């Protein structure tokens, strides 16, 4: 009887599970979907299928997000034509900052954990994603601003502050490891800037048109870019 209990006990012991092998199997199941035409083109341009997959899974580059951005900017265009107030110039930096913050993955990107199995560095993934989000928002914003009929200075003037606000949002997101913190920092920074410039210059568009603010914007953008580079140099798994 004792021998039988010992045999039964040995059989009841759980068999060791190779978690690494299981995780590789899960990753293979998720990443095995066939790439679409956009992803194939991106892979040829970037010369990296993994980087292309990380780019097309960016939350703020998904079709629903792009459509929502275009709708908001279109509404700003109509409001500008009706009131004469350049709402596109005021909305575009905040929208771009939100998209940039959501280019950073923890908590919002379903492929974030899987990206850790890629040979491409986290910094490269974040850089490509941020540039793609910034470029898309800049194109949509310029198109909406130009179609609203505002002056050229207002049409293109918000691109510099947009760079600074996006850098601020990305720096906050990477430091806090939270896209929501990045959104809050970017939007709050832009709102404070707009209100402060209006109080000083007496114009709502001062934050986007004042030449004296260009150097401060560039200084903020450079400082925040340095913070992002510092935050992304930390080895994986180290908080």
> Per-residue pLDDT tens for 193-218?
999 999 988 888 889 888 889 999 99
The reply to whether 83 falls in a domain is yes
Tell me which of 59 and 168 has the higher pLDDT: 168
Q: Band the pLDDT of 7: cuts 50, 70, 90.
A: very low
The reply to whether 22 falls in a domain is no
**C-alpha 137 chain-centroid distance:** 11
What domain count does the chain have? 1
Q: Are 185 and 131 in contact (CB under 8 A)?
A: no
SS3 of 66, please?
Answer: helix
Tell me which of 55 and 181 has the higher pLDDT: 181
pLDDT of residue 27: 58
Q: What is the mean pLDDT of residues 23-36?
A: 63
The reply to whether 158 falls in a domain is yes
pLDDT of residue 103: 82
The radius of gyration of the chain from alpha carbons, rounded to an integer in Å, stands at: 23
The values of phi and psi at residue 208, to 5°, are -105, -10
Q: Band the pLDDT of 38: cuts 50, 70, 90.
A: confident
* CA separation for the pair 8, 143 (Å, rounded): 73
- What pTM was computed for the model? 0.76
The reply to whether 5 falls in a domain is no
The reply to whether 18 falls in a domain is no
Structural domain that includes position 83: 37-231
* pLDDT averaged over every residue in the chain: 81
* CA separation for the pair 173, 85 (Å, rounded): 31
pLDDT at 9 over 50: no
The values of phi and psi at residue 47, to 5°, are 60, 35
pLDDT at 34 over 90: no
> Per-residue pLDDT tens for 104-140?
766 666 556 656 666 667 778 888 888 999 999 999 9
């Amino acid at each position: 009887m004792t021998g039988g209990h010992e045999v039964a006990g040995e059989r009841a012991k759980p068999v060791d599970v190779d978690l690494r092998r299981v995780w590789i199997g899960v990753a293979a199941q998720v990443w095995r979907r066939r790439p679409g035409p956009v992803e194939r083109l991106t892979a040829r341009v970037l010369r990296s299928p993994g980087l292309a997959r990380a780019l097309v899974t960016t939350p703020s580059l998904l079709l629903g997000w792009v459509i929502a951005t275009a709708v908001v900017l279109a509404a700003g265009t109509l409001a500008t034509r009706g009131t004469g107030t350049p709402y596109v110039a005021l909305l575009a930096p905040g929208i771009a900052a939100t998209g940039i913050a959501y280019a950073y993955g923890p908590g919002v990107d379903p492929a974030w954990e899987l990206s850790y199995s890629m040979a491409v560095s986290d910094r490269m993934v974040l850089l490509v994603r941020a540039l793609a989000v910034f470029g898309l928002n800049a194109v949509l914003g310029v198109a909406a601003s130009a179609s609203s009929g505002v002056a050229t200075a207002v049409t293109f003037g918000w691109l510099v502050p947009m760079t600074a606000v996006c850098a601020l949002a990305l720096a906050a997101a990477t430091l806090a490891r939270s896209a929501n913190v990045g959104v809050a920092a970017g939007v709050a920074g832009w709102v404070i800037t707009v209100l402060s410039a209006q109080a000083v210059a007496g114009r709502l568009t001062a934050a986007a048109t004042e030449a004296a603010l260009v150097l401060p914007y560039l200084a903020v953008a450079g400082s925040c870019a340095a913070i992002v580079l510092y935050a992304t140099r930390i080895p994986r798994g180290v908080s």
